[in-house]
Amino acid sequence: MPGRRSIVASEPLIFELASPGRPGVRPPLAQFDDVEPASVLPEGQIRESLDLPEVSEIDVMRHFVRLSQRNHSIDTAIYPLGSCTMKYNPKINEVTARLPGLLEPHPYQPETSVQGLLALIHDLEAVLGEIAGFATVTTQPAAGSQGEMVGLLCIQAWLRSRGERRTTVLVPDSAHGTNPATATMTGMRVEPLGTAADGNIDLAELDAKLNDDVAALMLTLPTTLGLFEQRILEVTRRVHAAGGQVYGDGANMNAMLGRVRPGDLGIDVMHLNLHKTFTTPHGGGGPGAGALGVQAHLAPFLPGPNIVKNGSGYALEPAGPDSIGRVHSHVGNVGNLVRGYTYIRSLGRDGMREVADDAVLHANYLRARLAPHYDIPYDRICMHEVVLAGTRQRSLGVRTTDIAKRLIDYGVHPPTVYFPLIVDEALMIEPTETESIESLDQFAEAMISVAHEAKTAPDLLHAAPSAAPVRRLDEVTANRSPDVNWINAD
Ligand SMILES: *Cc1c(COP(=O)(O)O)cnc(C)c1O
C-alpha cells in the first residue's frame, strides 16, 4: 500500500534536538547594536532569554517532515472517512488563495481597495445559491455546525416575526451529533425521529410527532446512512402543513451537485460545508466554511454584513433590523472561500455534475465489492457513501474497532466507525470522487483481506495496529489531556 508503511524510528522532541549556540537563522542585528532595549520597550516586555530551542534549519525541517509522516493525510493515501468527505484538495486552490490581492487585504481596508475580493465572495454566494437552489446565501458561518446554529436562529426569528413560539426540533436518529447539539444550544427541545426499515424517515412517526410546537425538522440529505430520502417531497410537505420549517443538513451535498437542488425539494434552509464538498482542507479543527442558503422568507434574519452590488461596484452593507446579529468577524474565513470558489470555477457546471456522479459511482462500486464480505443493513443503491456493519465479524470475536485498527497496518485510513448510531458495528465508507479505480481496488482488497483475517487470524486484528508509531490509544484521554511526551514513551 502506498500509505504509511515505513520504518518507525523514535523522534526526539525539538527541545532535545537543540544545542545552545546553534541557531536556525542569524538575523542581521548589527543595526540594533547601539539601541538600548529600555529606550524602546516598556520594562515588562524586556527579556534576556526566550528559552526557545536552538536548532539548525535543516534539523527543524527534518524534524517536522518526519513528524508529518507519522500522520495519515489525503496527500498520502485514500482517506475514506464517512460523512467527512476527505477528497483531494487541488493545489490550484492554494495558488489562488495566495494571490496577494486575496491574501493580504486588511479587514479594515476601504471597500474600494478590495473590490476583487468582494466580487469573488459575492459571486461565490450566487453560485452556491444556484447549486443548492436557495434565494440567498451567506458565507459567514465558520463551520457546518455554526451554519446549523445560524439556520435555527433564523427559523426562531422568523417564527417570532409571525407571533409564534415553537420549541421542538425533530431530529432523525441517524443524524450527525451536531444536529441535536445545535438544537439544544439554541434553547430548543430535541425530539428524536425513528428510521423505517428501508432507511427512510418513518412517516407514521413523523405524523404522530408533528404538532404546533414543532419549529423545525432537521433532515440530512442524503441521510448519514448514505441513502436518498425517497419520500422527501412528502416529508417537507407534511412539516410545512404543520407550520414547521425544514432545516437541511447539506454536509453531504457531494452526492447531489448538479443533479438535485435541495431548495427545490421544500428545504427552507441548509448549510454547505465548503471544507467537505468544495475541497478546502479540513481536519484537526482547522478553519472551515459552512455557507448557509435560505429561501427568501428567511433572508431578512441572516447575519451581516452583506456584500451588495451597487452602481459603482461592491459594498459591505450592515445587517438589517431583523438580523440575528453577527456570527463571525468581517466576511467569514476568506481563504477557504477563495479555495472553494476556485474549485467550483475550475470544474464548471458540467464538472460539478461529474463530481456527484463519480462520488456515487465509487461508493456503489465499493458496496458491490464488499457485499460478499460484510453485512449491509440498509442494502440499496447508495449515494456518496456506504454504511457496512461488522456484525458478521463480531460473531467471530472481532469488533469494528479491531477492523479499523488493522486497516492502519495496510496503509489506509479507516472509515468512520460506530456512526450512524443506529447501525450496529458501523463502518461508514465515503471514497469520494477523487480516488482512481486502482486506489478504490487497493482499499477494497485491504477490507477483504481484513475480513479474511477475522476468520483465520483474529489475533492479528486484536493486536493491530502493529505498523504504526503507536498501538491503541485511550482515545478519550488522548483527546482531553494529550501527553506531548508520548513519542518517547516506548
Ligand atoms: C461534518 C458534518 C456536520 C458538521 O460540520 P462541521 O463543519 O464539522 O461543523 C454536520 N452534519 C454532517 C452530516 C456532517 O457530516
Ligand 1 neighbour 176 (Cβ under 6 A): yes
> What CA–CA distance (Å, rounded) separates 141 from 333?
8
**Ligand 1 pocket: which of 84, 140, 145, 419 to mutate (most atoms within 8 A of CB):** 145
For residue 213, give the nearest of 256, 148, 169 by alpha carbon.
169
Give distance in angstroms: CA of 251 to centre of ligand 1.
6
Does residue 4 or residue 358 have the better pLDDT?
358
Instruction: Specify the pLDDT at position 484.
Output: 65
Give distance in angstroms: CA of 30 to centre of ligand 1.
52
> What contacts 24+ positions apart, CB below 8 Å, involve 166-169?
166/212, 166/213, 166/214, 166/215, 166/243, 166/244, 167/213, 167/215, 168/211, 168/213, 168/214, 168/215, 169/214, 169/215, 169/216, 169/217, 169/218, 169/247
199, 224 Cβ separation under 8 angstroms = no
Q: How many CA atoms lie within 13 A of 472 on its CB side?
A: 11
Average the pLDDT over 453-473 and give the result: 92
Give distance in angstroms: CA of 10 to centre of ligand 1.
35
Give distance in angstroms: CA of 276 to centre of ligand 1.
9
Is domain 93-346 classified as CATH 3.40.640.10?
yes
Give distance in angstroms: CA of 178 to centre of ligand 1.
7
> What CA–CA distance (Å, rounded) separates 270 from 152?
10
Give distance in angstroms: CA of 477 to centre of ligand 1.
23
Angle between helices 115-132 and 334-370 (to 10 degrees): 30
Give distance in angstroms: CA of 387 to centre of ligand 1.
17
Tens of pLDDT, residues 304-328: 999 999 988 999 999 999 999 999 9
Ligand 1 neighbour 384 (Cβ under 6 A): no
Judged against a pLDDT cut of 80, whether residue 8 lies above it is answered with no
> Which of ligand 1's atoms lies nearest the C-alpha of 288?
7
Query: 350-476, which class in CATH?
Result: alpha beta
Tens of pLDDT, residues 39-71: 888 988 888 777 889 999 999 999 998 888 888
> What CA–CA distance (Å, rounded) separates 80 from 41?
52
> Which protein residue's CA is at the shortest distance from atom 15 of ligand 1?
83
**Cα dihedral 98→99→103→108 (10° resolution):** 180
Q: Where are the domains of the chain?
A: 13-26+51-70, 93-346, 350-476
> Which of ligand 1's atoms lies nearest the C-alpha of 85?
15
> Which protein residue's CA is at the shortest distance from atom 6 of ligand 1?
144
Does residue 476 or residue 120 have the better pLDDT?
120
> What CA–CA distance (Å, rounded) separates 24 from 368?
54
Give distance in angstroms: CA of 140 to centre of ligand 1.
16
> Which protein residue's CA is at the shortest distance from atom 3 of ligand 1?
144
Which grid cell sits at 448? Answer: 477483504
Judged against a pLDDT cut of 60, whether residue 2 lies above it is answered with no
**Ligand 1 pocket: which of 179, 272, 276 to mutate (most atoms within 8 A of CB):** 276
Task: Determine which of 43-47, 298-302, 418-422 has the lowest per-residue pLDDT on average.
Answer: 43-47
Q: Please state the separation of Cα 412 from the chain's center in Å.
A: 19
* Side chain identity at residue 38, one-letter code: A
**Cα dihedral 69→75→80→84 (10° resolution):** 100
**Ligand 1 pocket: which of 249, 252, 271 to mutate (most atoms within 8 A of CB):** 249
Judged against a pLDDT cut of 60, whether residue 173 lies above it is answered with yes
Instruction: Specify the pLDDT at position 9.
Output: 60
Which pTM value belongs to this model? Answer: 0.91
